[in-house]
Structure 1
Amino acid sequence: MTSPTAPLPRPLPRSFSLYLDCCRFLAAVLVVVSHVVPYGVVAPGSAIWWPNLGRESVVVFFVLSGFVIAYTTEHKNASLREYCVARCTRIYSVALPLLLLGFALAAVLVLSGQATLADYYQLRKPWLYLPLHLLFMGELWTISEVPPLLGPYWSLGYEVWYYVLFGAAFYLRGTRRLVVLGSLLLLVGPKLWLLLPVWLAGVLTYHWQKTHTIARPLALAGWCATLALLAAFKAADLDAALRAVAQANWPFPGLPLKSADRCLADYLVCVLVVVNFLCAKSADFGALLRVERPVRWLASYTFTLYLVHALVLRVWVSVYPHRAADAGDVALLVALIAGATWVIGQVSEHRKGWFEGMFVRLASARRIV
């Protein structure tokens, strides 16, 4: 927290903030694109035309998340109560409506004969699975669970707990902080430990860029180099090789890596993302300011797009005789994803005030410091 006599932290340059918004929206689009082949939206033979950068995009989200949390705690959230309200508002404004919608649509698919209870076994025990996902406990220790129709929800089982860990580290003091952090780390388990450095890299990136700059020609060269290296990384299939290495050398067979089995590749991509962000800051992409309004508008739907696209894809291929080779069907599906993102965004990301009021009242009732 900032003392009354300390200088106020500087806001991010507009061009850099806009660049981060571009990265956020592009990452969400790339997650969507990475799912079109496995979900049967396009023919497998056309996979070469669809970049499979879904996991790399999640790494971008993790680094961005750490960066943004470090920024907001320094600029906006002066107390643990404000931090909790802000984080709960951000997450639940999107996750709660879509979680309930996912369960509801899964029930409709089962009742209409388009799916079976074996496909959506969570419906047998909603009293167990709804709280599990509302508390983002789907990736703790050996658990590996996602809600019906919401495959991308897995990453929230990491990110939300990183929020909790950071809040404890930033706002608590002394023995209380050590006890709470130790308890939380014991609770979350090894999968979350493995990807925690990726999220913390975003925090470190924020603090480094406040006091360091890179000469603009070097920054431009570095920015281009990160993109070239990422392309080479994917072309060489290095992510698959590193995944195999992690699986082969993981020393605890009773604690399977599951969603963390790409951690080695994630570390490498994380380095590229961090360098890319630092170079972008010093490169000063001022031309982006010409398209600031549309970029900010698109970025405001990122979280909704990230979750809702999987729901639309799964329902679509369940109820419609989709023809993967038909460009018209593919175009119609893209339009449905865009429309669903806008509609749901109107009652989620763009209606955070209602959720914020609810969490303010809850925080007051619980007397969070």
Structure 2
Amino acid sequence: MADPAPPLPRPFSLYLDCCRFLAAVLVVVSHFRPYGAIAAGSGYWWLGLGRESVVVFFVLSGFVIAYTAERKPTGLRGYCVARCTRIYSVALPVALLAFGAAALLVLAKLATPQQFYQLGKPWLYLPLHLLFMGELWTLSETPPLLAPYWSLGYEVWYYALFGAAFYLRGRRRLLAVGAMLLFVGPKLWLLLPVWLAGVAAYHWQKTHTLGRTQALAGWVLSLLLLAAFKASELDAALRALAHAGWPFPGLPLKSADRFLADYVVCMLVVMNFLCARSAGLGLLLRIERPVRWLAAYTFTLYLAHALVMQVWLIVYPHRRTDLADVLSLAAVIVSATLLIGELTEHRKGWCARLFTWAAARLPFAQQAGGAAKSMR
């Protein structure tokens, strides 16, 4: 195998962590209005950057996965263990917590069984969500109280597609990638270019650099263009255009109905990352410790905040116009994120041991691991 890729420059690595944490915060903020935590008239455009933040996550995910696959050549088995550990260490306990919270709300008569219909068939919906199959073809399913879970139904399958394309060879690669593409369906096809743009950005920055002045100008321009795009509501116009031009009424777009706007945001995010790579940004080194610490809770914050927010709004007589109540909700979200993150995202050892044990006993994983070793 090729020599491992060199590490990313520390300032750029810090910048990516900043983007990751900021994107999670913007997703949280974007849910305050539609969930009813703040008044409906709070119409500032920056309160609605949740979808754009998910695009940031997709591009960043493709970039980081491409980097780690080259940087840590562990073979297909090691790749699968690492990805499963990362996802399930948070997704599994939070999904179970969401089902449990929904059941308690129904038992306490604070919610109806119809609101959480998944509880009626846990034998169906739990495996569906734990296998991240909620966005396949015409499906659009998330666990109770976990609306942000939808993006995992895309990202996890992109991990699988990348792993098959990167580690397998010849006919096995073609069959595996082709079978998965047929299995996941058109919604995932539409957003796959966004994730792959991150992979392409990683490879481009290995061999290309920009002048510092040019990079700083491009970085600022990318942010201004994103702000103008969102403030002008062009995203809504592109969403309507996507619906009007979609030729397959039997295959509704659902969570992929913003794909045209996603492509625009994707190009701006890639531009931002590539400019940041050459812009220096050495000042970030002064805040490296808090940035790394905050970024370590990103996945938990992204996934668990909706659960916390909705339970709070159901149980507590929240006043959406009362600043004290809004700040109290924010404090509860932060506290819950720290607690859940300490028990999940920061304690992945049990999950890594479980998947390492399972992978060592799968014949195809053993063969893949042996093939990878023979290529070194």
Cα distance, 1:44 vs structure 2 = 1.2
Counterpart of 1:80 (choices 63, 76, 81) is 76
2-structure distance, mates of 1:327, 1:144: 34
Residue number in structure 2 paired with 1:92: 88
Q: Which digits, 9 at most, give the CA deviation of each residue in 1:334-361, with x for residues without a partner?
A: 1100000000001111001111011100
Residue number in structure 2 paired with 1:291: 287
Residue number in structure 1 paired with 2:223: 227
2-structure distance, mates of 1:242, 1:279: 26
2:187 corresponds to 1:191? yes
Q: Which digits, 9 at most, give the CA deviation of each residue in 1:308-348, with x for residues without a partner?
A: 11001110111110001111111111110000000000111
2-structure distance, mates of 1:64, 1:96: 23
Residue number in structure 1 paired with 2:22: 26
1-structure distance, mates of 2:56, 2:45: 22
Aligned-pair identity (%): 72
2-structure distance, mates of 1:103, 1:90: 21
Residue number in structure 2 paired with 1:249: 245
Residue number in structure 2 paired with 1:303: 299
- SS of the residue corresponding to residue 199 of structure 1 reads helix
The unaligned stretches of length 5 or more in structure 1 are none
2:237 corresponds to 1:236? no
2:66 corresponds to 1:70? yes
2:279 corresponds to 1:280? no
2:326 corresponds to 1:322? no
The unaligned stretches of length 5 or more in structure 2 are 369-376
Kept in 1: contact 2:45–2:230 (CA 8 A): no
Equivalent residue letter for 1:84:
C
5 Å matches for 1:41-190? 41-48=37-44, 51-190=47-186
- SS of the residue corresponding to residue 215 of structure 2 reads helix
1-structure distance, mates of 2:315, 2:170: 56
2-structure distance, mates of 1:99, 1:335: 22
1-structure distance, mates of 2:89, 2:232: 40
Residue number in structure 1 paired with 2:333: 337
- SS of the residue corresponding to residue 45 of structure 1 reads coil
Equivalent residue letter for 2:109:
G
2:14 corresponds to 1:9? no
TM-score by length of 1: 0.98
Cα distance, 1:50 vs structure 2 = 5.3
Residue number in structure 1 paired with 2:374: none
- SS of the residue corresponding to residue 300 of structure 2 reads helix
2-structure distance, mates of 1:69, 1:155: 16
- SS of the residue corresponding to residue 361 of structure 2 reads helix
Change (3 A) 1:294 1:132: same
Cα distance, 1:47 vs structure 2 = 3.0
2:272 corresponds to 1:268? no
2-structure distance, mates of 1:74, 1:55: 29
Q: Which digits, 9 at most, give the CA deviation of each residue in 1:228-260, with x for residues without a partner?
A: 000110111000000000000000000000000
Residue number in structure 1 paired with 2:308: 312
TM-score by length of 2: 0.96
Kept in 1: contact 2:58–2:198 (CA 8 A): yes
Cα distance, 1:48 vs structure 2 = 2.4
Equivalent residue letter for 1:44:
A
Change (3 A) 1:49 1:231: closer
2-structure distance, mates of 1:91, 1:77: 20
- SS of the residue corresponding to residue 46 of structure 1 reads coil
Change (3 A) 1:33 1:159: same
Cα distance, 1:41 vs structure 2 = 0.6
Kept in 1: contact 2:5–2:67 (CA 8 A): no
2-structure distance, mates of 1:67, 1:49: 27
- SS of the residue corresponding to residue 47 of structure 1 reads coil
Change (3 A) 1:171 1:49: closer
Equivalent residue letter for 1:263:
F
Q: Which consecutive segments of 4 or more residues in structure 1 shift more than 4 A?
A: none
Change (3 A) 1:197 1:50: closer
- SS of the residue corresponding to residue 345 of structure 1 reads helix
Kept in 1: contact 2:45–2:231 (CA 8 A): no
Residue number in structure 2 paired with 1:208: 204
- SS of the residue corresponding to residue 248 of structure 2 reads coil
Q: Aligned pair count?
A: 365
2-structure distance, mates of 1:183, 1:49: 41
- SS of the residue corresponding to residue 196 of structure 1 reads helix
1-structure distance, mates of 2:324, 2:274: 41
Q: Which digits, 9 at most, give the CA deviation of each residue in 1:73-92, with x for residues without a partner?
A: 00114210000000000000
RMSD of the TM alignment (CA)? 0.9
1-structure distance, mates of 2:137, 2:216: 42
2:31 corresponds to 1:35? yes
Cα distance, 1:365 vs structure 2 = 1.3
